[in-house]
Structure 1
Amino acid sequence: MVQAASPALTHPVVETDAGPVRGTDDGTVSSWKGVRFAAPPTGDLRWRAPVPPQRWTEVADATRFGPVCAQPHSPIPMGPGARTSEDCLFLNVWAPSGAREGTPLPVMVWVHGGAFIFGAGSQPLYDGAALAADDVVVVTVNYRLGALGFLELATLDERSFDTNLGIRDVVRALEWVRDNIAAFGGDPERVTLFGESAGASITTTLLTAPAAAGLFHRAIVQSSPATSAYDAERGRRVAEVVLDKLGVDAAQARSVPVDVLVEAGAHAFEHIPTATPGILAFAPIVDGDLVPDHPVPAARGGGSHPVPLILGTNRDEAALFRWLKSPPMLPIAPKTIRSMFERIAVEQPELALPTEADILAAYHGVRPRARGLHVARDVGFRMPTVWFAEGHSRVAPTYLYRFDWTTPMLRLLRLGAAHATELPYVWGNLSLGPRDVTFKLGGLKPGEEVSRRMRARWTNFAKGLEPTGPGGQPWRPYTDTGRATLRIGRDDAVVDDLDAEIRAAWGSEVIGFR
């Protein structure tokens, strides 16, 4: 039997406000990779807010990814041929073939995770073809990382440096989407911002940032450490650690080679959470400008943008950090957990912290050696998510979930539904090559069904519909009375007040460092 030949590739050219770009169309999905959305953040623009790129006239090649942002050796697979550079402000677009000729499609803009120091929009996991096939336009973005994106030198010299640079990069990418996405078949009036981990933290931060108002119309937040946003004074202390490691002052730092800066950032990334459990070296800073307030208290005070929101966490978030071990991004051992709470109590004496008896009562059915994982999960991810949902649900429809699905292999590895394990299901990219062991002991067929349901819910939401599954499976909004939560497992179930016991233990005050 003669197989039909696959359609020949074509190379569609799109005109952006900076110049034309040439992508690839395989007959199902069109893609444009490595599209520059800001000028190179180098030289005098190092540690400055991003600016639009200079215009070009020749057609730029957009058939391969641009460099990933400078970072230490990453535990995250970056794909073959990936290269790092300080000049890294590129984005990638996927759209259904023919989208440019039809009715404008909703847009989903992805902000990757990686503890604010790792990752890229071009990771193989974030290939947007499967999502785009569900009639959305997908955009993935790079943003500056580590010492280049979240080193707060403005706390030492506010005239020469800008704050929250990685977050400003995402704002600039959203402005690019607003101004250009129609040429790719997208609807600039239907933009959903979504992200995971550090990318979800950036999303919750932008949900309360005045500069982001109107740049996105819906949001999806996956496993956000939403309370990991610190005062400027803490940012200043981290900047001093990095400058001390470099042996330079802030003014001299612009001439430091990029690889030396990356190494100094990696030192801070390891040192800060080791010395002060529960604190990240790099995170959003409350600067009174882009970030006027801590995101969770701002949302609870009615200060978040009134856009529909999906948010949630994974059942076993902290298991990944036990497995990684270094750096200790989450305090898991009883000693480090106690140290974290003691430091919070000293810094915020007005805060009513839960007692150890309260915590033990919440986890009465948990083995003593595993309690640290539950405490770390809830103080780092689950409770900040619930607190944010409580506030945001008063200004816009809000949908809370918990991802419980796992595979036999991940159970064997004691990971379960750990941090980031939902990502392949959201993206529809369940197989990432021979080194991926997720389905080695089975679970692929039910996993494909989990992915089908999640993609349907996420894309239906982006289209302005209710986040129902492919068979119309419902999902009620979260409210202070019903507290409906979608539990995602082999089958989906909407459960009222899934977090009742841990909410009672942790209380209603927002707990976190300032």
Structure 2
Amino acid sequence: MMRHMLFALLLGVSITTAASAQTSARTDTGQVAGVADGTVISFKGIPYAVPPVGPLRWKAPEPAPSWAGVRDAKAYGNACPQLERKEAWAQVGPQSEDCLFLNVWRPAKPGKYPVMVFLHGGGFVYGAAGVPLYEGTGLAARGAVVVTINYRLGRLGYFAHPALTREDPDGKLGNFGVMDQIAALEWVKRNIASFGGDPGNVMLFGESAGAGAVQILMGSPAAAGLFHKAASQSGSGSTVLAPIRGGAINAEMLGQKFTDELGLKDATAAQLRAIPVAEIIKARAFPFIDGKVVTMSPGEAFYKNKQMRIPLIIGSNSNESSLGGMTEATAKMVLGSAFPELHAGYVALTGKSSDAAAVDLAEGLGFVLPSIAVADQHAATGNKAFAYFFDQVPVDQRAAAAGTDHGGELEYLFGNKAAEHRWDAEDLRVSKQMGDYWVRFATTGDPNGKGAVRWPVVTAPPTDYLVIDAKPRAARLAPVEEKAKAAAMAAAIRTWTAPAAP
């Protein structure tokens, strides 16, 4: 009897020890303890860089310091400072300048899994890795290690000023949020094997601002070798970034205007770092071309054949106009004298009213067609590219919706139904197929697989793409869309190829 009790006790110890080992991982700065939830283990709030506070505000990220013992990794870290918003996706929790944390979800079963690193959206001024929408259990359960990261936002993340330039003229200047993203990818390269991930098989994917960052990083020498596949979701491709200096408008000029308005003329770097956070987050700010980290605008590298030679998924949603600004007036401004012909073509193509077709045209010019143009350019230089158009709406909104809003694909991709929505069997099916496509792509560089509707690879215009909805199908751009695509990119290409300002 005692022998049986001793055996049971030893068995219990052995099971406990195995479970403990399974929910812990060792990084290059210390051990972390996560949480097992069914077939997935999560690790939250892992610091990947030194807190960028005090004298480190507006400096390039440095590796996180080591800690003794086992760090609890059961709760998300602070979000980076930002203004409050009411939308569910912007409920980011506690905020602090000490915000450079990442989160990892891994399958509980030991293995060597592809890694999926997600860059959140929010216009470079909102968002966080800990938003419930981005919870990684659903994707990880399919057989991937999923990583979400915080990065500095707004003027804390994107700020150039003559005083900071004088402090370190040969350093990495201004694009601190992009530097954070690179630092997180370097952390992944060093540490992800401890979480069952393959550091040689990393997919970077992002939505909106995160998608723009994916394109920026595909053209940045500083990110070379840090990821091996990419997905850009609703990130356009025709954006033109300002330079750090030179030209009619530049980042240093905007930075100095910001501090001048605070009464800090001829400010020193120390005075800048003493500005209250509450003042800093009031001002919007975006990446700019600094020449070292951000070397080109998001789509520019693809046109100059300087992008990473890796497989790419890129696409957009059916109601990107929900973001605002995509109106008939916008389309007229972009197209000029070409507007009447293309507008008439969209009326014929869509069968919609004149006003609705004009919005579709503006939406195409702003998001849909530049994304597909990037796919064309990537394929033209011998790389695998897969384009998509997402058009699924939750059942409670389906009857009245104009299409899938900007960001509306994310709840399907992550498998996290938004609290304000209802799903039916159709929504569940779309979520499964989209998650499967993305994980297969992360694994092999090709989203296709047994039993799935075939996603055509992009070859040459007219461009083939996949419509992702309840009845996924291959489609091809119509001639009028091809014309609009060329018009959408023309102005951006002229800017990218213009001689540099002195």
Structure 2 CA distance, aligned partners of 1:488 and 1:481? Answer: 20
Q: CA deviation at 1:502?
A: 2.2
Q: 2:53 aligns with which of 42, 45, 54?
A: 42
Structure 1 CA distance, aligned partners of 2:125 and 2:478? Answer: 31
**Corresponding letter in the other structure for 2:323:** F
Whichever of the two has the greater Rg, that structure is 2
Structure 1 CA distance, aligned partners of 2:367 and 2:109? Answer: 40
Q: Which residue is equivalent to 1:256?
A: 275
Structure 2 CA distance, aligned partners of 1:27 and 1:337? Answer: 50
**Corresponding letter in the other structure for 2:403:** G
1:456–1:470 CA contact under 8 A, matched in 2: no
Structure 1 pair 481/80, CA: closer, same or farther in 2 (3 Å)? closer
Residue aligned with 1:14, SS: strand
2:395–2:427 CA contact under 8 A, matched in 1: no
- Write out per-residue CA displacement over residues 106-139 of structure 1, whole angstroms, 9 at most, x where no aligned residue: 0000000011111011110111001000010000
Moved more, 89-98 or 48-57: 48-57
Structure 2 CA distance, aligned partners of 1:494 and 1:27? Answer: 36
- Off by >4 Å, runs of 4+ in structure 1: 7-11, 78-81
Give the root-mean-square deviation of aligned CA atoms: 2.5
Pairs aligned (count): 461
Q: Which residue is equivalent to 1:502?
A: 481
**Corresponding letter in the other structure for 2:343:** L
Structure 2 CA distance, aligned partners of 1:94 and 1:243? Answer: 41
Structure 2 CA distance, aligned partners of 1:78 and 1:484? Answer: 31
Which segments of 5 or more consecutive residues in structure 2 lack a partner in the other structure?
Answer: 1-14, 244-248, 497-502
Q: Which residue is equivalent to 2:362?
A: 376
Q: CA deviation at 1:315?
A: 1.4
**Corresponding letter in the other structure for 1:357:** P
2:313–2:386 CA contact under 8 A, matched in 1: yes
Q: Which residue is equivalent to 2:327?
A: 332
Q: 2:310 aligns with which of 307, 310, 324?
A: 307
Q: Which residue is equivalent to 1:405?
A: 392
Structure 1 CA distance, aligned partners of 2:304 and 2:229? Answer: 19
Q: 1:224 aligns with which of 208, 232, 235?
A: 235
1:192 aligns with 2:234: no
Structure 2 CA distance, aligned partners of 1:302 and 1:420? Answer: 29
Q: CA deviation at 1:332?
A: 2.6
Q: Which residue is equivalent to 1:132?
A: 140
1:449 aligns with 2:429: yes
Q: Which residue is equivalent to 1:3?
A: none
Structure 2 CA distance, aligned partners of 1:384 and 1:149? Answer: 26
1:115 aligns with 2:123: yes
* TM value normalised by structure 1: 0.84
Q: 2:342 aligns with which of 359, 374, 386?
A: 359
1:379–1:511 CA contact under 8 A, matched in 2: no
- Write out per-residue CA displacement over residues 354-402 of structure 1, whole angstroms, 9 at most, x where no aligned residue: 6222432342244233345324322221122122111111231000000
Q: Which residue is equivalent to 2:34?
A: 23
1:291 aligns with 2:294: yes
Structure 2 CA distance, aligned partners of 1:248 and 1:67? Answer: 29
Residue aligned with 1:119, SS: coil
Q: Which residue is equivalent to 1:239?
A: 255
- Write out per-residue CA displacement over residues 135-180 of structure 1, whole angstroms, 9 at most, x where no aligned residue: 1000000000111012233697354472211111100000000000
Structure 1 CA distance, aligned partners of 2:303 and 2:121? Answer: 24
Structure 1 pair 470/235, CA: closer, same or farther in 2 (3 Å)? farther
Q: Which residue is equivalent to 1:346?
A: none
Structure 1 pair 414/78, CA: closer, same or farther in 2 (3 Å)? closer
Moved more, 476-485 or 391-400: 476-485
1:90 aligns with 2:101: yes
Q: CA deviation at 1:239?
A: 2.1
Moved more, 169-178 or 149-158: 149-158
Q: Which residue is equivalent to 2:221?
A: 210
**Corresponding letter in the other structure for 2:472:** D
Q: Which residue is equivalent to 1:471?
A: 451
2:370–2:485 CA contact under 8 A, matched in 1: no
Q: CA deviation at 1:285?
A: 1.1
After superposition, residues 339-354 of structure 1 pair within 5 angstroms as 341=334
- Write out per-residue CA displacement over residues 395-422 of structure 1, whole angstroms, 9 at most, x where no aligned residue: 3100000011224543455442121111
Residue aligned with 1:56, SS: coil
**Corresponding letter in the other structure for 1:321:** L
- Write out per-residue CA displacement over residues 178-201 of structure 1, whole angstroms, 9 at most, x where no aligned residue: 000000110000000000000000
**Corresponding letter in the other structure for 2:392:** W
Q: CA deviation at 1:459?
A: 0.2
Q: CA deviation at 1:58?
A: 2.6
Structure 1 pair 49/296, CA: closer, same or farther in 2 (3 Å)? same
Q: CA deviation at 1:472?
A: 3.3
- Write out per-residue CA displacement over residues 324-380 of structure 1, whole angstroms, 9 at most, x where no aligned residue: xxxxxx35362x655x54xxxxxxxxxx96622243234224423334532432222
Structure 2 CA distance, aligned partners of 1:116 and 1:125? Answer: 18
Structure 2 CA distance, aligned partners of 1:166 and 1:38? Answer: 12
Structure 1 pair 48/81, CA: closer, same or farther in 2 (3 Å)? closer
Which segments of 5 or more consecutive residues in structure 1 lack a partner in the other structure?
Answer: 1-6, 270-281, 323-329, 342-351
1:457–1:470 CA contact under 8 A, matched in 2: no
Q: CA deviation at 1:25?
A: 1.2
Structure 1 CA distance, aligned partners of 2:254 and 2:144? Answer: 40
Q: Which residue is equivalent to 1:325?
A: none
2:316–2:388 CA contact under 8 A, matched in 1: yes
Q: 1:316 aligns with which of 294, 315, 319?
A: 319
Q: CA deviation at 1:469?
A: 5.3
Residue aligned with 1:144, SS: coil
Residue aligned with 1:449, SS: helix
1:37–1:91 CA contact under 8 A, matched in 2: yes
Structure 1 pair 73/478, CA: closer, same or farther in 2 (3 Å)? same
Structure 1 CA distance, aligned partners of 2:479 and 2:190? Answer: 44
Q: Which residue is equivalent to 1:327?
A: none
> Percent identity between the aligned chains?
36
Structure 1 pair 163/79, CA: closer, same or farther in 2 (3 Å)? closer
Q: CA deviation at 1:256?
A: 0.8
Residue aligned with 2:320, SS: coil
1:359–1:506 CA contact under 8 A, matched in 2: no
Structure 1 pair 456/198, CA: closer, same or farther in 2 (3 Å)? same
After superposition, residues 145-156 of structure 1 pair within 5 angstroms as 145-153=153-161
2:99–2:151 CA contact under 8 A, matched in 1: yes
Structure 1 pair 478/78, CA: closer, same or farther in 2 (3 Å)? closer
1:79–1:124 CA contact under 8 A, matched in 2: no
Structure 1 CA distance, aligned partners of 2:257 and 2:69? Answer: 44
Q: CA deviation at 1:81?
A: 8.4
2:391–2:404 CA contact under 8 A, matched in 1: yes
* TM value normalised by structure 2: 0.85
Structure 2 CA distance, aligned partners of 1:413 and 1:220? Answer: 29
1:296–1:510 CA contact under 8 A, matched in 2: no
